[in-house]
Amino acid sequence: MKEKIVQTAGRQQLGKFAPMFAHLNDDVLFGEVWNEEAIDTKTKCIVTVVSLMASGVTDASLTYHLQNAKAHGVTKEEIAAIVTHAAMYVGWPKGWAVFRLAKEVWNEQE
């Protein structure tokens, strides 16, 4: 049986200010969608990183999802190939932005 993903960031950061958003984040997105078993967690991590990249999101949420991808078995070689491939479709500058974060997550220094 796979490990269940549990998220509490919504309630911790927005619970009083935006309780519905916190519920949707913690209970629906992470509680239901991330724990749905049609695709494995590693694939979900890859899809999430590419989705954030395509949207131009390069803040702490992308760093979190890169760390999550690494923790679920995405290798340095795989993330490099994934970001390179996606950059051809979503934009070269977005690829550069993701690589800056990915190098930190995979502890790669020049």
User: In this structure, are 21 and 47 located in the same domain?
Assistant: no
From the CB of residue 100, how many other CB atoms can be counted at a distance below 10 Å?
10
User: In this structure, are 47 and 23 located in the same domain?
Assistant: no
Residues in CB range of 9: below 8 A, 6 or more apart: 25, 26
User: In this structure, are 48 and 99 located in the same domain?
Assistant: yes
Please tell me the pTM assigned to this model.
0.88
User: In this structure, are 66 and 47 located in the same domain?
Assistant: yes
User: In this structure, are 30 and 74 located in the same domain?
Assistant: no
Separation between Cα atoms, residue 44 and residue 17, nearest integer Å: 29
Instruction: Let me know if residue 1 belongs to a domain.
Output: yes
Asked whether the beta carbons of 45 and 72 are under 8 A apart, the reply is: yes
The domain containing residue 24 runs over which residues?
A: 1-38
Confidence of residue 10 (pLDDT cuts 50, 70, 90): confident
Instruction: Let me know if residue 55 belongs to a domain.
Output: yes
Q: Give the model confidence (pLDDT) of 31-40 as tens digits.
A: 999 999 999 9
Give me the number of domains the chain comprises: 2
Q: For the chain, what is the radius of gyration of the CA atoms? A: 15
